[in-house]
Structure 1
Amino acid sequence: MLARQLLAAVCALYWPAGVAKAQDGGRAPIEPSHGSAKANAFHIFNAVHSAGRLWGSALNHNGFGFFPAVIPKGTLLYHGSRQDRPPLGLEWLALEVEHSELFSISRKQQPGGRFSSPKASDASGESGPASARAQKPLTHSDAGDGAGRGNSRGYFHTYRANRDLNLLYIDGMAAAKTTFGTLDSQDLLLRENKTGPWGDNMGDLERAGSICDMVTDWGFDGFMRVEIGFEVIYCDFSSGIDLTGVTRSLMPEDKMGTGEMLVYQVARAVTRGYDGLAGQLRLDFSGMVSGFFFPINVSNTDPGRPDLVRLAAAGMDELRDIKGYLRDVCLQPRRFTVGWQGIADSIVSRFADRLAFMASEKVSMENFVDELERATLTYFDAPSLPGDIDTESERRSSEAVDRCAEHYLLPAHVVRDDWSAEDRLIHTAIKTVARDICRSLFDVRSSLLALFPDLPPKTHRISKAGDGSELERAVINSRQVLRRLMGRLAWTEWKMIRRCPVDEMLFVSMFPFGADVDYWRPGCRRIEEMTFSRVGYWGLDRDPGNDTERRFGH
């Protein structure tokens, strides 16, 4: 840490923050702006929400962002190899056993000098975290302890971090060797348009080497990407990790099983990372740098995939400016000032199911209104009754939108004085998204209230009486408003398979609620089943003095 701080101080002396670097023909370098953060707010919000998570990274696979990251001391990492000793240079590590075991499969040499397996599904293949290994193709001289017998022996290594490992996390599915744009942030931005020749495995070994040379100068031990699982390209195995064990893998013919489940087993293992890696990875959101912070073109250069954003649409001068900014941020000490992902999670968990519920045609008009009021009235200061202290009623709705938009940002305000420039940009994006959600919900509420102009003054609840057909048409229009909102939000949560239909919930007996069946056979429960009388398991139905509905103020 002291070395990094010293390096940062030296760099700041020659390249002070906010001072333009060398210019090309007098061109001022582009800088991040709050205007860009607002324009790209939905992209930034989703990048924050999906960072370090396999599900969202797979769906938003063209990444624009970089995060300083830490793998904590004591974390186990895995490596598949043809050698029984640690690599001398850079190499690939995985966080799941099965991921690295793909590259520790032993194979027997067949006639003609080719290595193959009698079980086709047991072959290691040519892609994955070790696919661009920093070792030349296998020959008899480097095929491990089976070389003399014509075998290619595989070894499974287990390493343990002996200190915190500092990595540069590249978001999206940056380990995907494709032409979709998954490699833009590496080949165009970090490597300054070194996209070819692709060579073996789309040049991933050369890519890893050039990025390692760069990020180690910035104080990192390596960099981290996502494919089918998380992979770490670790630049120097002699520092930061200890080899705790090596096992030699069996030859295919010595196994009892067919190996047909191999892909299934690997995919199943990595799905634990759909929602993140728990205590195995910490991202410094206060050091996040994203192309979405900058005033660049993000449209796709491929007319066949207009849905995909691309860094390729930006000019190389602009990408070099972003790289220079990223370098300056990376040379600063780590901060971890605000857990922005937790704030994004709170917003998603509050509104995702509610929006999906209200947008569904399966939901009745009455239930739509109930859900809308539950989503909005939390933030609405109700009109006064006799004896209450009143406020200006005409300001209530606008104040409610402000209150709603700020609600989940309140924890970040505690440390506002310590925010980095990147914290402020993320705040701008998240607040823009939150305000759009709140404004849309209150606009829908206002449109329904407008159907009843003859209600008594200070009536702020939506009436379900009167002309039902008019209210029904308004609800249909409101669903369209909310579907458009969901389109703008594009939350990956909505692409997950639901445990229950949209108008049901997964329920287990939780005091004071729950029938016997909810304890012995938890499952999906319909709206009409969830009432205050659902209390049989806890014996409350047998206690005449225990009025659950009264206890909860209903």
Structure 2
Amino acid sequence: MRPPSLLPLFGLLGLSCAHSAAPGTELKNANHIFNVIHDSMRQWGSSLHHNGVSFFLAGVPAGTQFYHGTSRASPVNGTEWLAFEPEHAMVFARPGHGPTPQLPSDDPDTERHGGSHGELRKREHHGPPGEGPLKAFDENEAGYLHTYTAAKDLRLLYLDGMSAAKTSKGTLDSQDAVLFNGLLEDHPSPGGQESERARLSCEMAQNEWEGRIDGVLRMEAGFEIILCDFERDLIPVRIMQIKQSSEEHHGPRGDGNHGDRDGPRKEGDDKHHDGHGPHKEDDGKRHRAGGPGGPRGPPHGGPGNGPDASRWMRAITARYDGIGGKRVSLNFNHFVTAFSHNVELFEGNSTLPRLVNLSPEERAAIRAEVTTLVMTHHPAELCEDWQAITDMIVTRYSKELSYFFSSSFDSIEQLQSEIGRVLSPFIDYSGRDDISEIERCATQFLPPSSLESGGIAAHAVHGVAHKICSSLVEAGKEQDLESAVQVVRDLVGYLDWGTWKECRGCAVNEICVVPIWPMGTVQDYDSPQCKDASNPYDQDGETYWGGMHR
């Protein structure tokens, strides 16, 4: 079902959180904003609603443990990538071999940094004092897993959706089209774009945002941080050499029908093919990216299959419902979303929002709003946990709505009886009043006076709850079963909750598989299934992601 077109809602300038709908009016795109709140920092919902168009202030408490995988045994300085899960970082802990067969010898990054051993020469020049010359890695040697803790409370800009995925579907729009204003459109190096994104992000943080942001938080197959200053913001805990990956020399399979990843490198293939793309040497402190989200990332198109893939995928899927441990807090009272702007995000029959189709002026307005957010608010501001409130609504109604449009009912009377059961706490049987009943239902989970505060989160959550309650009242008044079921079916299409695609009853050795870039098929997206964790993407089918972003 095509999302409703965006109608005039708010002015283009000023924070989204400051906008409010007039009493009695419907907030446009309440369903999309509700899902933005509900999906944020969750691998499952962010994989399904992968084109993020929203920006949050995120806080990470001091002492939080992070991981970085690399070929290098000395602590990292400068700008690099961090993972929240060690299994994610371990994919990048590989020796400094030359390019894989897919990487052409004329790759601009390879030539610029002196061929396949550019990092080793940089390590000799930029290693810690007294370390001395470092030997080249033996062919059978593995890489290193670094463990760090945050030296202070980190302030990050969180980009929702699967914003670290290198696709042409729109996953990169919030960065490339909005934050970087199209600067990467003519980038000459396929492997250098991630380095450029890191550089541009940290330049914005330092110059435009006056150092108020320490890095950028994104998601691909796991959550990662582009941290601008490792030496300043992290405390090294340990550096360990890991066991060589069993896939190091054979290469795991990629997504869908691209099982043969050892053939010629396709035009546009990027991050997850090699892991050996170096950073630009702008400050003498950066080394080849070896952590999550680096210029090339996991070899040969993703974790593929086998014991190493199983280790990583089990860790990723454990975060389907959230990052856990209060490791990240988002400011839900003040955030920026393109869904609050008078712009057309859904062209034609698309169900995926795109920012790249906006005019330069529209992009600039959103970008200015992000800057205002960063400069006037803080991740640690006291605010309502609107995600917890969306959780209460989803867990209350998700199964009920599935039941209502199932084939479980033989008559309209049976369905009406079940709908009446759900609505009964909000009905005063001494005097029926649809409007009052719907509003009692819609405000069940809202904090007192939250609608008067003017926050977009409050109005989006109320708008979705009101839609659910009013649709149930409408379905309960229909005269025939099919008409009533259609009302519920339309409601489910409008809500588009990720819970309705969750697997049921996976065995202990299985995981629920959804496309996570660069892996997965169209079938995995349309109908996620329980699959053996050691072979989660070992299947035929049309790849979901298509060609990789250049």
TM-score (norm 2): 0.69
Q: Which residue of 1 aligns with 2:503?
A: 497
Identify if the C-alpha distance between structure 1 residues 252 and 401 changes in structure 2 by more than 3 Å, giving closer, same or farther.
closer
Residues 313 and 407 (structure 1), Cα distance of their counterparts in 2 relative to 1, 3 Å cut: same
CA distance in 1, matches of 2:393, 2:352: 25
Tell me the number of residue pairs that the alignment of Structure 1 and Structure 2 aligns: 412
Residues 215 and 223 of structure 1 are in contact (CA less than 8 Å); yes or no, is this contact kept in structure 2?
Answer: no
2:437 alignment counterpart: 400
Instruction: Kindly provide the amino acid, as one letter, of the partner of residue 276 in structure 1.
Output: G
Match of 2:121 in 1: 141
Q: Name the one with the larger helix percent.
A: 1
| Residue from 480, 484, 490 that aligns with 2:486 | 480
Deviations 1:383-414, CA, capped at 9 Å, x for gaps: 2xxxxxxxxx25x22210111111111x2x35
Partner of 1:12: none
**Correspondent of 2:366 among 316, 322, 326:** 322
Q: Distance in 1 between matches of 2:386 and 2:357?
A: 28
d(CA) in 1 for partners of 2:346, 2:420: 38
Judge conservation of contact 1:94–1:231 (CA < 8 Å) in 2: yes
Q: Is the 8 A contact 2:141 2:244 kept in 1?
A: no
Hey, what's the Cα distance between the residues in 2 that align with 1:268 and 1:490? Answer: 26
Q: Structure 1: which amino acid aligns with 2:225?
A: V
The residue correspondences of 1:109-508 to structure 2 (distance < 5 A) are 138-139=117-118, 140-142=120-122, 145-147=134-136, 154-198=143-187, 199-201=189-191, 203-217=193-207, 218=209, 219-251=212-244, 260-278=306-324, 279-300=326-347, 306-334=350-378, 335-365=381-411, 368-383=415-430, 393-394=431-432, 396-409=433-446, 411=447, 413=448, 419=453, 424-447=455-478, 474-499=480-505
Deviation at 1:94, TM superposition (A): 0.3
Who is 1:17 aligned against?
none
CA change 1:29–1:293 in 2 (3 A) is closer
Q: Displacement, 1:250?
A: 3.8
The residue matched to 1:478 in structure 2 has which SS? helix
CA pair 29-382 structure 1, distance change in 2 beyond 3 A: closer
Cα RMSD (Å): 3.2
Residues 451 and 458 of structure 2 are in contact (CA less than 8 Å); yes or no, is this contact kept in structure 1? no
What code does the residue aligned with 1:56 have? G
CA distance in 2 between partners of 1:276 and 1:427 (Å): 21
Bigger Rg, structure 1 or 2: 1
Letter in 2 for 1:182: T
Deviation at 1:216, TM superposition (A): 3.7
Between the aligned partners of 2:493 and 2:245, the Cα distance in structure 1 is: 49
Residue 15 of structure 1 aligns with which residue? Answer: none
* Distance change in 2, residues 1:313/1:149 (3 Å): closer
Tell me which residue corresponds to 1:507: none
Distance 1:433 1:115 in 2: 49
> TM-score under structure 1 normalisation?
0.68
CA deviation profile, 1:336-369 (whole Å, cap 9, x unmatched):
4111111111111111110000110134546534
Q: Which amino acid aligns with 2:37?
A: V
CA deviation vs aligned residue, 1:76-103 (integer Å, no higher than 9, x gap): 1000112222222110000111110011
The Cα offsets for residues 93-150 of structure 1, whole Å up to 9 and x where unpaired, read as 001111100111236x6xxx6679xxxxxx9x99xxxx99x99864453579441756
Match of 2:214, as an amino acid?
D
The alignment partner of 1:44 has SS state of helix
SS at match of 2:232: coil
SS state of the match for residue 182, structure 1?
A: coil
CA contact (8 A) 2:149 2:235 kept: yes
Give, in whole Å, the separation in 2 of the partners of 1:265 and 1:94: 15
Cα distance, 1:370 vs structure 2: 3.7
8 Å CA contact 1:30, 1:294 repeated in 2: no
Structure number with higher relative contact order (C-alpha < 8 Å, ≥ 6 residues apart): 2
Deviation at 1:371, TM superposition (A): 2.4
Distance 2:410 2:235 in 1: 60
**Structure-2 separation of matches of 1:261 and 1:310:** 37
Would you say the 8 A contact 2:69–2:90 is kept in 1? Answer: yes
One-letter code aligned to 1:378 = P
Q: Tell me by how many angstroms 1:163 deviates.
A: 2.0
* Residue ranges of structure 1 left out of the alignment (5+ in a row): 1-27, 117-122, 384-392, 449-473, 501-554
Q: Secondary structure at the match of 1:239?
A: helix
Residue in 1 that maps onto 2:48? 59
Contact 2:334 2:377 in 1 (8 A): no
Is the 8 Å Cα contact of residues 82 and 152 (structure 1) preserved in structure 2? no
Give the Å deviation of 1:29. Answer: 5.4
Q: Any conservation in 1 of the 2:52–2:162 contact (CA below 8 Å)?
A: yes
Paired residues for 1:83-102 under 5 Å:
83-102=72-91
| CA distance 1:204–1:252, change in 2 (3 Å) | closer
Separation in 2 of the partners of 1:70 and 1:252?
A: 33
Q: Structure 2 counterpart of 1:325, which letter?
A: E
Is residue 176–residue 226 contact of structure 1 (8 Å, CA) maintained in 2? Answer: yes
1:508 corresponds in structure 2 to: none
In structure 2, how many angstroms separate the alpha carbons of the residues matched to 1:254 and 1:344? 41
Distance verdict in 2 for CA 1:101–1:399, change over 3 Å = same
Q: 1:248 to 1:226 in 2, by over 3 A?
A: same
